Amino acid sequence: MSGTRRVAARAVAALAALLVALLAGKPAAAAGPAAPDPAGPSPLTGIAGAAPDRPALVVKIDNAPAARPQSGLNQADVVYEELVEGRLTRFAAVFHSQDSTPVGPVRSARSTDIAIASPLHRPLFAYSGANAVFQDEVRRAPLVDVGYHAAPDRYEREPSRHAPYNLFSRTPALFQLAPRGSVAGQAPAGAGMAATDRVSARWATRVDWQWDPAVGEWRRSQDGRPHVDAAGRAIAPANVVVEFVTYRDTGLRDRSGAAVPEAELTGEGDAWILTGGALIPAHWSKPSAEAVTRFVDGAGADVRLAPGRTWVELAPPGTVTHSP
């Protein structure tokens, strides 16, 4: 193994890639849950001194061309990109260690979000609405509804944008709705690596991830242009997880008649873990909606990530390639 590869291997050993480490929250004891140590590492990023005493907050953020640039993607600890109808994607942004004012544009829920949010130890869930079927799923899911219809005073319309791409909120205002005593769960306490500096996805939207060794981040481009937030900052997490999943037709249609898909996040499949300028082939497994997704390498060991923010691409098989 070269010196560069050895450095990368040491770098990726810092944080267990059970990405939603809040997921490991256990039911509170009779005396009440133990709060995270604020001096300790963030359970989602592994960054020291970033463990606030609060639950996770999942915000649905639009990714249609008219919704860009978005606010909050660089403040979220973990961002999931999921396929929706019309060959578009949306984001489920998980906030815990940082805030974003504003955050959005906030859009509607999909059934895929339930499997994303369910393991997060009763997270807050912010969204603009849902059809009757998905709304019923939200009501039955192990989460706290802080969506637009549940808390309209926590949302506002941005006059410089047009509907439906103009609904925004603020994470501090949403965190105020956390039930008393709710806190984040505790984090549970590599392998064959291939050097790579570029990964490309061709599914709903064209996405490219380019490794920047100067800053140790993966810079995201979308539809051939750098993806930046509303402040002009590049979208560049420390880690990218490509979780290959199949999508099923829910049988529902949007207003245009397009089929509404749902990612099958329970079961198992292949994954690529991009971290430290390298690609780790992995296998993911998730036995139930409430279970933590586990990522293991070819030797069966849990894959570990570098400290920092993580993006998860819920991509159909065969849609992603990488360059050596």
pLDDT digits (tens, 9 = 90+) for 128-170: 988 888 899 999 999 999 999 999 999 999 999 999 999 999 9
Using a pLDDT cut of 90, give the percent of the chain over it: 65
Class of domain 3-18+188-239+266-323: alpha beta
Asked if pLDDT for residue 305 goes beyond 80, the answer is: yes
Asked if pLDDT for residue 44 goes beyond 70, the answer is: yes
**Stretch among 212-226, 252-266, 307-321 having the lowest mean pLDDT:** 252-266
pLDDT of 39 reads: 59
> CA–CA separation, 274 vs 311, rounded Å?
10
For residues 105-131, average pLDDT = 93
What does the block give as tokens for 65? Answer: 């061309």
Nearest partner of 267 among 284, 243, 247, judged by Cα: 284
pLDDT of 10 reads: 32
Residue 323: CA count within 13 A, CB half-sphere = 9
Asked if pLDDT for residue 26 goes beyond 80, the answer is: no
Class of domain 39-175: alpha beta
The CB-based long-range contact list for 210-219 (8 Å cut-off, 24+ gap) reads 211/274, 211/277, 212/236, 213/277, 216/11, 216/276, 216/277, 216/306, 216/308, 217/308, 218/274, 218/311
pLDDT of 130 reads: 87
- Tokens 């279970």 -> residue: 291
For the chain, which residues make up each domain, given as ranges? Answer: 3-18+188-239+266-323, 39-175
Domains 3-18+188-239+266-323 and 39-175 share a fold: yes
- Considering only residues 155 and 34, tell me which one the structure prediction assigns the higher pLDDT: 155
Using a pLDDT cut of 70, give the percent of the chain over it: 83
- pTM of structure: 0.86
The CB-based long-range contact list for 286-294 (8 Å cut-off, 24+ gap) reads 286/115, 289/114, 289/115, 289/118, 289/119, 289/265, 290/118, 290/119, 290/142, 291/119, 291/266, 292/18, 292/20, 292/23, 292/24, 292/119, 292/188, 293/18, 293/19, 293/20, 293/119, 293/243, 293/265, 294/18
Asked if pLDDT for residue 280 goes beyond 50, the answer is: yes
What's the gap between Cα 303 and its chain centre? Answer: 17
